[in-house]
Amino acid sequence: MTTHTVAVIVGSLRKHSFSLRIAQAFAKLAPASLKLNIVTLEGLSFFNQDLEATPPADWVKFRESIQASDAVIFVSPEYNRATSGVLKNAIDVGSRPYGKSSFLGKPTGIVVSSPGPQGGVSAAMDLKRILPGIAGPVLQQPEIYLNAVGDAFDENGEIIKEAIRPVLQAYIDAFAAWVEKQKK
């Protein structure tokens, strides 16, 4: 069996964010065919095209983490009916320089969440609008919009809202099968 490396990009800077906890849950639930590397955005400086000729070390490190992966999953909160600013910045950093996107050709997943009732649908639509042309094919089904995640995890990040576990499991299993199909 081939093992595929997946960069799981966490779109929140908060120390105990729901996005980070979801990424960590995926790492525990992933089948043996996937090796998940959680990529946080702490310390990733703002994109500035003036710096492209000699990119900062944090940009290079981020780009290399994506380039070393076979696939990417974006795990994002919803902020003001869009993805977070830090995730958009990371996409800008990783997709440059023009024509050399680190995401290009990599099977991509989108997972969004919100403590509110809509589950981040607008953030997912925002990512689906941004990613074509700079990323690989985006998994269309199953879609995953996690709502009411405010009480889904305990203080150690363990899932305590059992209804969320089969949703996460179904998604990561479908993503694994889809990555295998894309990489053949």
Q: Which long-range contacts (CB under 8 A, 24 or more apart) does 124-133 make?
A: 124/76, 126/81, 126/82, 126/83, 127/74, 127/76, 127/83, 130/83, 130/88, 130/91, 131/91, 131/103
Query: What is the length of the chain?
Result: 184
Domains in the chain: ranges and CATH: 4-182 (3.40.50.360)
What does pTM read for this prediction?
A: 0.96
pLDDT in tens, 20-33: 999 999 999 999 99
pLDDT in tens, 81-97: 899 999 999 999 999 99
